[in-house]
């Protein structure tokens, strides 16, 4: 039976999940993961402690409990369970506090909370998402001077998810523009893109993977044929090389990796939300 991991937080628990996921991926075993956000009342804490203890009684194995809770009273309830409890944030805070010679001030809803201090930055991030949607798939070539990145590539090579991820995670304003079958005879950049050369980043992908993805959308179409995919990809790759546009083969990369490589290549400072 897979070992159970509980994530217990008085906030969203998102930071802990992300970290826990990285940590668990280093062990060659399966885990069942359960998340309990907003654990900020005695009642909720007791309910969760009882679940941990029931699981322990049933399996004879201590569940893993990753937690981050500001209130001492609530934390003690979780610590009184039979779980193996580890404060994931504290294990980084403690050595840092010593190095800085400064006491930490834990507050509720610190990471993903909205407050006077960060609302302007938050609004910029939402504006970046709006921008990505308004400039998705070549929908609008206006206001490209406001873009920080312009993704280009054939249909279904990863432009849209990458644009949205860059907006959501890093607050970047990203437009994207698709080359379509009709462009292939004389492939060239539209004038609006030529004016923004330094922001262009090309995506490409393996032809077999592209054909498979396109087949999901339009089965057995010319659009999804391997022949068509190969043609389009070889044309756009030739364009990237000719115009010296930096580009990336996305076949084996997640949006996180594409986004990271793109920012690294274009020399974009990462902002953290």
64-99 CB burial, b ≥16 within 10 A, e <16? bbbbbbbbeebbebbeebbbebebbbeeeeeeeeee
Check residue 172 and report its DSSP letter. -
| Spatial contact of 170 and 183, defined as CB atoms under 8 Å apart | no
Within residues 164-223, the interface with a copy of itself by CB under 8 A covers 164-165, 168-169
Query: Is residue 71 part of the contact set for a copy of itself (CB under 8 A)?
Result: no
Closest approach, Cβ 147 to a copy of itself, in A, equals 18
Query: Is residue 15 part of the contact set for a copy of itself (CB under 8 A)?
Result: yes
Write out the H or E segment, with its range, that includes residue 28: none
Q: Which two tokens stand for residue 271?
A: 């902002």
Within residues 30-69, the interface with a copy of itself by CB under 8 A covers 33, 35, 37-38, 62, 64, 66
Give the interface segment with a copy of itself, choosing from 177-185, 226-234, 240-248, 249-257 (CB under 8 A): 249-257
| Spatial contact of 114 and 84, defined as CB atoms under 8 Å apart | no
Query: Is residue 256 part of the contact set for a copy of itself (CB under 8 A)?
Result: yes
* DSSP-based three-state secondary structure for 266: helix
Quick one: 42 or 194, whose CB is closer to a copy of itself? 42
Candidate list 100, 120, 182, 186; residue touching a copy of itself; CB under 8 A: 100
Q: Say whether 119 counts as a known binding-site residue.
A: no
Candidate list 79, 129, 141, 231; residue touching a copy of itself; CB under 8 A: 129
Q: Say whether 154 counts as a known binding-site residue.
A: yes
Q: Say whether 171 counts as a known binding-site residue.
A: no
Q: Rounded to whole angstroms, how far apart are CA atoms 148 and 173?
A: 5
């Amino acid at each position: 039976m897979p070992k159970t991991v509980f994530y217990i937080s008085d906030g969203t628990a998102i930071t802990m999940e992300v970290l826990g996921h990285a940590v668990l991926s280093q062990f060659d075993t399966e885990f069942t993961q359960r998340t309990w956000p907003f654990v900020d009342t005695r009642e909720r804490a007791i309910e969760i402690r009882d679940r941990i203890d029931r699981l322990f009684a049933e399996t004879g194995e201590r569940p893993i409990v990753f937690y981050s809770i500001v209130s001492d009273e609530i934390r003690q309830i979780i610590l009184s369970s039979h779980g193996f409890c580890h404060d994931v944030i504290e294990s980084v805070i403690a050595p840092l506090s010593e190095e800085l010679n400064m006491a930490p001030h834990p507050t509720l809803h610190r990471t993903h909370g909205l407050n006077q201090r960060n609302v302007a930055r938050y609004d910029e991030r939402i504006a970046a998402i709006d921008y990505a949607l308004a400039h998705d798939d070549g929908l609008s070539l206006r206001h490209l001077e406001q873009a920080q990145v312009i993704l280009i590539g054939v249909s279904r090579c990863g432009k849209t998810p990458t644009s949205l991820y860059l907006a959501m995670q890093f607050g970047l304003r990203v437009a994207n523009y698709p080359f379509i079958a009709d462009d292939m005879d004389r492939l060239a950049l539209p004038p609006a893109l030529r004016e923004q050369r330094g922001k262009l980043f090309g995506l490409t992908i393996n032809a077999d993977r592209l054909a498979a993805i396109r087949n999901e959308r339009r089965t057995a179409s010319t659009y999804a044929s391997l022949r068509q995919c190969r043609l389009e990809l070889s044309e756009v790759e030739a364009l990237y090389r000719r115009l010296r546009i930096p580009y990336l083969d996305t076949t084996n990369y997640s949006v996180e990796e594409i986004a990271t490589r793109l920012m690294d290549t274009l020399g974009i400072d990462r902002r953290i939300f």
